[in-house]
Amino acid sequence: MELITVPLFTGIIGYITNWTGVLMLFKPLTFYGFKVPGLKTLFPLLPKKIQVLPLIRSDGKIGWQGIVPSRADKMASLAVDKGLSKLGGVSDFYRTMDPDQIAAHFTTVAEAEIRGVVEKIIERENPTLWRNLPSPIKEAIHARIKQQLPEIVEALKVEIGENIDELIDVKLMVIKHFSQNPQLLNDLFMIMGRKELTFMQNFGFYFGVPMGFVLVFFLEYVHREWYVLPVGGIIIGWVVNYIGISMIFEPVFPKWFCPWRQGLLLKRQPEITVLYAEMVAEKVMTLENIGDELLHGPSGDRTMALLEHTLKPAADKAVGPARLMVKVAMGSKEYDRLKDSMSTEVTAFAPMIYEDAEFGREQSSKIKEFIAKQMALMGPDDFVQLLRSAIKQDEWLLFVHGGVLGAFAGFLHLAIFGV
């Protein structure tokens, strides 16, 4: 009777192994654990391979964090190296979003705001001058600046387009975005591989049951000792995870001798391409994220310098015929400060462009089409690297986890039914 229960045990533990293995990939988002006395002192002495595990932390805590969120920075880096970098540089994404349309939108936004900005600047720098300027001259300044806007924006578009590869580091941008939003990385994996992850869970049962019968045969006809069940459980738990993951990703190219012909994920490459393109376009390579990186990223100061360099002569030109009178009234130093203020204030329009939700959605649809088109050209080898490279280094943790649960099942069976 006790032998009949072995396949049931191995099937159930196989399912639980893979089910919890999938959970280990994604949950929890943040580290949960407790302090262990002396671990903080011991931590620097541990091998590097142990230090990087999501099991322990340098502050002396032991616990767990999902493999994917714990490796957010590394996985984001790999996603760029294996995926986005093959799709194109940031200049390609920028051109796809149609800089001419962005410039036209910028002009529309600026036209609605520029009058108030000009009055605020001049009143701040020289309130007496603005109050004393005749109304026709004030209106002439406003009209001149509004007239010059398209030319100013065109100059900005050209400058940004020519320098965008130097102004934005896509790798750092993606790493920062995923590190700040670990759930997004989880969603990326779940959206693309949900069917395969469900298969992996069920495969644990499908594989565990027949392996249980093999174990029964071994116990009955080869060797009947207490340690056979725990050792068999370790082997089955390890192998069930190994084969499950292998079936998802391998073989890369169809093989006639392989029962499933090709990695299950690769069979869905066209479908996953659409899902990946949609996710990246709507959540990562968005107009808002690119704009935020331009203005506030590592090269944000350089972007501001470029904008001011472009806008200063434009601001001077915009004042037009009134320039001499304004300069005489204010003095050269105050006039130069006025130009600086104007160029700085005009750059404040940029976030209005990048944070416009409806306009951003229009650009995302173009990015989605671009990514899907580029990914369709990817060979299966590049495609599988895009998805697997992010978790490959930590796959062994899932195998060990399977082995531990398998051993536990073996000991549990012994405790209940004996040898």
Q: Which residues pair with 61 in a beta bridge?
A: 35
Q: Token pair of 302, please? A: 């350089």
pLDDT tens sequence across 193-252: 788 888 888 888 888 888 888 888 887 777 778 788 888 888 888 888 888 888 888 888
Residue 116 backbone class (left: φ over 0; alpha: ψ -120 to 50; beta: rest): alpha
DSSP result, 303-370: HHHHHHHHHHHHHHHHHGGGHHHHHHHH-HHHHHHHHHHHHHHHHTTHHHHHT-HHHHHHHHHHHHHH
pTM, full prediction: 0.69
Q: Which residue has the tokens 């088109």?
A: 373
> 22-72, pLDDT tens digit by residue?
888 888 888 888 888 888 888 888 888 777 778 888 888 888 888 888 877
| Distance set, CA 56 to CA 43, 46, 67 (Å) | 9, 11, 12
Percent of the chain with pLDDT over 70: 76
For 255, phi and psi rounded to 5 degrees? -120, 130
CA distance 229 to 244: 22
Q: Residue ranges per domain, the chain? A: 31-64, 100-161+277-359
DSSP secondary-structure letter at 133? S
What is the length of the chain? Answer: 419
**Element holding 32 (H helix, E strand):** strand 32-35
Instruction: Read off the tokens for 214.
Output: 């093999």
Instruction: Name the H helices within 228-331.
Output: 228-249, 264-267, 269-283, 287-296, 300-319, 323-330
pLDDT value at position 3?
63
Nearest to 347 by CA among 311, 298, 293: 311
Six-digit token string for 356: 């416009």
Mean pLDDT to the nearest integer, 354-374: 76
Phi/psi for 112 (5° steps) reads -75, -20
